[in-house]
Structure 1
């Protein structure tokens, strides 16, 4: 999970949540809260590694992080009160929609990616709000939403998008974990070993992300979303 989190810049929560729900048998909210125990330290380390390889601009990261933090908190408060089965169905629909969007992008002609943003920085605040809400609701940190939008709408490379998404995910995953923990939706005995394993392996994923061709990395990201959606669909 740590390797995949480093590879796709998402902290590993997307694969942890289906596995915890399907194979460990945790309710959706507890699976999401437990996955966050691993995601938070993974995001911290992955963000550091990405910043070392591709400097993350503070003026771009700050609006994403601030708005992501606020709306992740609101989304997580909403999440802990939803029926577990309804939450799982919603999460599957969320992954399917992301998968369709990402696959469609691969067949639509677009301008070459760049390290510079094609949209003015205030729009990053809007993206942070939307990503933070989804991240707080589904316990995935918002990076999975922000990454494809940054590459398509803002025109960044996949690696730059993943680095910025990690900057968004750091505060939002932290506040989401606190909210889930306060509402007793975290299994710490499962989460802590996951966190240790994630920290030991995330560097491999970051190295792979910077070594892979742009189109290959995007294709793998799409396939990853589809697999996660199928895994959770069996549980529904």
Structure 2
């Protein structure tokens, strides 16, 4: 590849590597950072930003799922059930998202991030790493409804929705919950990408280099996550949500 062509892809390669690391660390695909960046920094419409982020998220999630499964294997039947429910829900909500006005979708995305951030930071209830389960584990697959719906509508959130539910309602440890969430998010992200691509809401030139470089850093993020204390993981995850929400809500006012 000629040097000028390589330099054109360099920002996407660096960004993809950084997002791959954080995606592996938090058990998410990195879209929570990529989508606001695409909207604010690159001027993409919300649906295009979500579809482009999915190009990077799909392979990152696959690697993250594989690495987490090595350490925290989830029961096959429950993983299959939660994945199928999530995929079906994603399919319907992704079509709905592409029919929405981009401005409306952007508002929904921003409010989702803010709600997730406030929910995790404000309450400060249980300080135990593994709270007592309040719901029978047989109902774990139903989390796929909310996780899949979020993935299809917003291009993110499967893990953001599923992980807190799995820890607070089902009493799973953070890393185990993230392994379960990845079983939900990984197949539903692929379905979401297919729908967004079918609606021509994907910038492949930006997404593919990010996906390629992210593959080299996901495993490092997963390994780093397992070295952190449980409290540190929760705080870091909550801080990431809050910063992204503030960025999406404040930057339009500052930049205008």
Give the TM-score category using the shorter length: over 0.9
Aligned mates of 1:211, 1:78 — CA distance in 2: 40
**Contact 1:141–1:172 (CA under 8 A) maintained in structure 2:** no
State the shift of 1:63 in Å.
Answer: 2.2
SS at match of 1:200: coil
Task: Please give the residue correspondences for 1:27-106 in structure 2 after superposition, counting only pairs within 5 Å.
Answer: 27-105=45-123
User: 4+ runs of 1 displaced by more than 4 Å?
Assistant: none
Aligned mates of 1:43, 1:166 — CA distance in 2: 7
Task: Please give the residue correspondences for 1:117-156 in structure 2 after superposition, counting only pairs within 5 Å.
Answer: 119-140=135-156, 142-156=158-172
Show the counterpart of 1:179.
195
Q: Identify unmatched segments of 5+ residues in structure 2.
A: 1-18
Aligned mates of 1:29, 1:76 — CA distance in 2: 10
State the shift of 1:6 in Å.
Answer: 0.3
State the shift of 1:110 in Å.
Answer: 5.8
Task: Please give the residue correspondences for 1:153-168 in structure 2 after superposition, counting only pairs within 5 Å.
Answer: 153-168=169-184
Show the counterpart of 1:169.
185
Aligned mates of 1:24, 1:112 — CA distance in 2: 39
Q: Is 1:13 aligned to residue 31 of structure 2?
A: yes
**Contact 2:36–2:247 (CA under 8 A) maintained in structure 1:** yes
User: Which piece of structure 1 moves more, 175-184 or 82-91?
Assistant: 82-91
CA displacement, residues 83-141 of structure 1 (integer Å, 9 cap, x when unaligned): 11111111110011111111135x20365517x96533442232111111111100016
State the shift of 1:228 in Å.
Answer: 1.1
Aligned mates of 1:104, 1:152 — CA distance in 2: 15
State the shift of 1:59 in Å.
Answer: 3.1
Normalising by the residue count of structure 1, what TM-score does the alignment of the two structures yield?
Answer: 0.94
Aligned mates of 2:153, 2:210 — CA distance in 1: 21
Show the counterpart of 1:195.
211
CA RMSD of aligned residues (A): 1.7
Larger Rg: 2
